Amino acid sequence: MSVFDGITIALSKGRIFEDTKPLLKAAGIIPLVDPEHSRELILPTNNPRVRLVIVRASDVPTYVQYGAADIGIAGKDVLIEHGGDGLYQPLDLNIARCRLMVAVPKGFDYQGTIKRGARLKVATKYMLSAQQHFANKGVHVDLIKLYGSMELAPLTGLADAIVDLVSSGNTLKANNLEAVEEIVPISARLIINVASWKLKRDSIEPIMNNFAGSLS
């Protein structure tokens, strides 16, 4: 098996991939396969020196950190949880924007509960972000890690509140929940493997500059 010595870009399916396509186009990179309609995980592009790898969003920083990809695009939420080790983060791409928020069932006295010093049960997959947020506020919480259907946790009594990404808020509304506190605004960032930046800078820098130029 031959070793690919070009530029590998790690992306996840869905919103980030769709929002990234115009940036790739600005850099002269056109995927030859649509990941939404293919089982292929390594996608060729019109440039034989550039390929895309499709991975789970939470795995993008890991692929870049360990050099399996030279470049990646990951949400700030994922990068906070990952920690950012071994990554150069030169550019906020200002895409896939949303907010990481605390949400509770409508009618739940969140502020009053905090003031009374009560201990909250909070469901989330963003354990580090939630832990730091509540610690900074001096709020005592029991964190419960979930991976999906976060809105179900308060509805079944598993948790008092959730910490999750909120975009339109329609999912919260449909489940009789409301956002009560913003933790951090989220957008997708360009990340680069530190070693790749040193060894392949001549190939990576034009891609980065084209991404940056398309944002202005």
CB atoms inside a 10 Å sphere around CB 116 = 8
Q: Is 91 in the same domain as 132?
A: no
**pLDDT at residue 1 in the model:** 53
Rounded CA-CA distance 169/125 in Å is 18
Same structural domain, 83 and 142: no
Phi and psi torsions of 72, nearest 5°? -150, 165
pLDDT of residue 145: 97
Within a domain: 165: yes
In a shared domain, residues 72 and 37 = yes
End-to-end CA distance of the chain: 41
Span 39-94, pLDDT tens digits: 899 999 999 999 999 999 999 999 999 999 999 999 999 999 998 788 999 999 99
pLDDT band at 108 (very low <50, low <70, confident <90, very high): very high
Q: Within this chain, do residues 172 and 200 fall inside the same structural domain, yes or no? A: no
Q: Is the pTM of this model over 0.75?
A: yes
Domain assignment present for residue 1? The answer is no
Q: What is the pLDDT of residue 4?
A: 87
Could you tell me the CATH number of the domain that includes residue 172?
Answer: 3.40.190.10
- Tell whether the torsion through CA atoms of 77, 80, 84 and 88 is positive or negative: positive
pLDDT score at 86: 83
Farthest CA pair distance, the chain:
63
pLDDT in tens, 15-31: 899 999 999 999 999 99
Residue range(s) defining the domain that contains residue 50: 7-96+187-215
The answer as to whether 25 is a domain residue is: yes
